[in-house]
Amino acid sequence: MPDYKPNYFVRAFAVFALVAALVLVVVVVLTSSGSSDNGGHGKKSKPEISKVGRKAIRKGVWIVHSGDTLGEISVKTGIDQDTLLQLNPDLDPQALLEGQRIALR
């Protein structure tokens, strides 16, 4: 049987690669967990309500346009998606139709 000579360089490189991968995972997890504009500290900033959203809020109704999603409507009006669904119990967020009216209050 031939004598086995361990390669210390390969062993050291494997340990280094393992530590580097672990550090990379930690960095990715820490940087992706906070999604607020202020770095995850302090108060959350209020969403910017669009001009169209303010007009719709005054009228109390949003008229769905082609390509609108419930998420986009929520962002444009500053009204939470859950609130929109509570105000519109018959609303199917996956099947919004152009011209459909969504109550905002």
User: How far apart are alpha carbons 27 and 16 in whole angstroms?
Assistant: 16
Identify the helix (H) or strand (E) that includes residue 62: strand 61-63
Q: Which domains does the chain have, with CATH numbers?
A: 51-103 (3.10.350.10)
On the question of pLDDT at 24 being above 70, the answer is yes
Q: What is the pLDDT of residues 27-86, one digit of tens each?
A: 888 887 655 555 445 555 556 777 777 788 888 888 888 888 898 888 888 888 899 999
Rg (CA), the chain: 26
User: How far apart are alpha carbons 86 and 84 in whole angstroms?
Assistant: 5
Report, as an integer, the average pLDDT of 11-34.
88
Give phi and psi for 102, each to the nearest 5: -120, 125
Report, as an integer, the average pLDDT of 16-22.
94
What does the pLDDT read at residue 16?
94
Least confident of 15-19, 47-51, 101-105: 47-51
